[in-house]
Chain A
């Protein structure tokens, strides 16, 4: 039983990372001009260190229970999803909102696609994607008056 409990090594590693984050907070707080700015982050960095240390001690004693096994699946698709979203967002100030959103939508459709590409899907999915992007663009820009990025490429 205890051997199984010891398996939450991931939890202990994350706890160690948390301790690192807390130390970083304390180090940063040394540069503040006013003590009022430092007292709160230092206190709760202390709480974070105490909780994380407690978990590591539990893990060392074999009392840290591992949760349910994480879901499997395609790691490549997972990473691609985050990369495409991040890349599209970073490109937005340059190529503009629509210029970034349409390719991101298309790429994510490809990443999430498991069914075979029939003629219907090839025709309809891009149309639906374009309608969603343009519909939301209109709603946010014209109705909610949100200044969506035009893109430095098209600024002039």
Chain B
């Protein structure tokens, strides 16, 4: 394997200690709603300036990978994705936890994250230059259609009505427009309110729409938050490994999807995990009930989002284009360290890059024991803490977490109001996931849409601009397939049933 000789450099006790610290810190930070992977990496960047380059990169990579995994804890135990990339983990993680299998769900998430993280890192080591070409093939229109594809997936996956999912996605895109327009600078949809001027912060909205409805329902009734099992069942590692072995194709396929989607700048873990989840659901074996507590859903989501860590580094290192927001922070740190990203990076500064990639692999492996231990502790804490302490503790964390993102009280107010709104519309079948994804993808979608619209207007070929490019056409076909296939399949099933009855 390329760069194998640099493994020993990464294996120094100091680097191992940094990797271990980074994974633990990242996992804990990622588990707290409001503290994202980007924030955890950004906070620690100044500490790394005085470190040797490879150690600094290993620490940042370990924090990043740990934080992405940590997001699964709150997704599974509180129905609140700790990071946006854990949205799809809530679909099956929370139902599993409600059944009393939260410990099992966390172990499955840990194993899947390790597999995804390793496959992403190996892809980074072996395939970085050719894979980075994929990112260059995507123009603004393709990014617009990719965002729409992501929304169509979540609309189709939303429990209940597809139309409600589409409406939720469109509402999310409109909410992302609030504040000062990035393209032309107009103040939009604030209606004179100072609170709305800075727009809706994505993580604050995510906390509000996912976490506040859980809190609202939690206080309404007595009884435990999650079903409490009798006696200790350990990590349930054997059970989880057996399930994972039976679903290995799902794990590997999701990791490959995560790696490829991670390469596309801006797309990130949320789209990767949704695409993988959708694929897992499409290829479900008989008896697998996705959306109702199927461990395969957690495998798809967690394997994919951890694979985006390695995948996202591919354009970051080879092209200097950050694949995900934490990559952008790490790119800044790389420049401070004197590392020049670009196609010649692997040849000119191979020692640093390969040591970093080995460090990432070691950090991912270290995530297995640390993730299992921290997960067990988090699970026991959540299920044994009395409701009278759990509710104020979570509510307090949502407030401080939302405030800390931009040091802005308005974000906290918007978070709580959106939470109340989310709870009301949730009672009528409008789920939070499409709205949040619309908010996340809004800036990418708008930037691509407006650029394509402007170019199309200038060249007097708007239809060709939106519908005439090969990659765009492929994404549009996938989108239509996602939206129409449930109807077509239901119709076919009806015809088949009728034929059987006759």
| A residues lining the B interface (CB < 8 Å) | 8, 10-11, 13-15, 18, 21-22, 25, 28-29, 32-34, 36-41, 43-45, 47-48, 51-52, 54-55, 58, 64-67, 70-75, 77-78, 80-82, 85-86, 88-90, 92-93, 101, 104-106, 108-115, 121, 125, 128-129, 132-133, 136, 140, 144-149
Contacts and interface: CB of A to CB of B under 8 A. Distances in A.
Interface stretch (B6-14, B69-77, B348-356, B392-400): B392-400
Given A28-B191, A36-B183, A89-B413, A81 B395 contact: yes
Given A89-B416, A101-B400, 19 more contacts: A14-B428, A15-B167, A21-B171, A34-B186, A36-B450, A37-B181, A45-B170, A51-B164, A51-B166, A72-B221, A73-B220, A74-B220, A77-B219, A82-B216, A92-B409, A93-B409, A106-B392, A140-B404, A146-B403
B383 interface: no
B174 A82 contact: no
15 contacts: A11-B161, A18-B167, A28-B191, A36-B454, A78-B219, A85-B399, A89-B409, A108-B391, A108-B392, A111-B391, A112-B218, A114-B222, A129-B389, A146-B403, A146-B407
A150 B397 CA distance: 18
A8 B386 CA distance: 36
Contact of B220 (A48, A75, A88): A75
A21 B174 contact: yes
Interface stretch (B228-236, B419-427, B485-493): B419-427
Contact of A86 (B43, B184, B223, B413): B413
Given A32-B186, A37-B188, A128 B389 contact: yes
B484 interface: no
B420 A55 contact: no
B497 interface: no
Contacts of A106: 392
Contacts of B396: 101, 104-105, 108, 132-133, 136
B220 A55 contact: no
Contact of A51 (B163, B221, B445, B454): B163
Given A8-B429, A64-B161, A41 B449 contact: no
A152 to B, nearest CB: 12
A73 to B, nearest CB: 3
B332 interface: no
A37 B183 contact: yes
B215 interface: yes
B388 interface: yes
Contact of A37 (B171, B184, B387, B389): B184
B107 to A, nearest CB: 27
A125 B385 CA distance: 11
A48 B174 contact: yes
A34 to B, nearest CB: 3
B52 interface: no
Contact of B216 (A78, A86, A115): A78
Interface in B266-301: none
A39 B221 CA distance: 46
B414 to A, nearest CB: 10
Nearest first, the 6 closest Cβ-Cβ pairs linking A and B are A73-B220, A34-B184, A108-B392, A114-B222, A112-B391, A37-B186
B412 interface: yes
Nearest to B448: A40
Give the secondary structure class of A's interface: helix
Interface residues of B, number: 66
B446 interface: yes
A40 B446 contact: yes
A138 to B, nearest CB: 12
A148 B391 contact: no
Contacts of B219: 74, 77-78, 80-81, 108, 111-112
Contact of A65 (B161, B412, B454): B161
Contact of B388 (A13, A47, A74, A109): A109
B173 interface: yes
Nearest to B160: A67
B247 interface: no
B171 A29 contact: no
Contacts of B400: 101, 136, 140, 148
Contacts of B413: 86, 89-90
A67 to B, nearest CB: 4
A82 B164 contact: no
Given A55-B163, A55-B164, A11 B188 contact: no
B482 to A, nearest CB: 15
A104 B184 CA distance: 41
Contacts of B386: 115
A55 B404 contact: no
B395 A54 contact: no
A45 B467 CA distance: 21
Contacts of A113: 387-388
Contact of B425 (A14, A78, A115): A14
Interface string B163-190: 1101100110110010001011110110
Contacts of B403: 146, 148
Contact of B428 (A11, A81, A133): A11
Given A36-B184, A43-B449, A115 B388 contact: yes
A28 B337 CA distance: 47
B188 A78 contact: no
Contacts of A67: 159-160, 428-429
Contacts of A38: 186
